[in-house]
Amino acid sequence: MDCEGGGITVALSKDDKSAIARLGRIMVWNRNKPDDDAGEALLAGADDKIFRVDRADLGECAELVTDRKELAALRHK
pLDDT truncated to tens, each residue of the chain (77 aa)?
A: 445 556 788 999 998 889 999 888 877 777 777 777 777 777 888 888 899 999 888 778 788 888 889 888 877 76
Q: For the chain, what is the HEC assignment?
A: CEECCEEEEEEECCCCCEEEEEEEEEEEECCCCCHHHHEEEEECCCCCCEEEEECCCHHHHHHHCCCHHHHHHHHCC
Task: Count up the domains in the chain and report the number.
Answer: 1
User: 27 lies in which domain range?
Assistant: 2-75
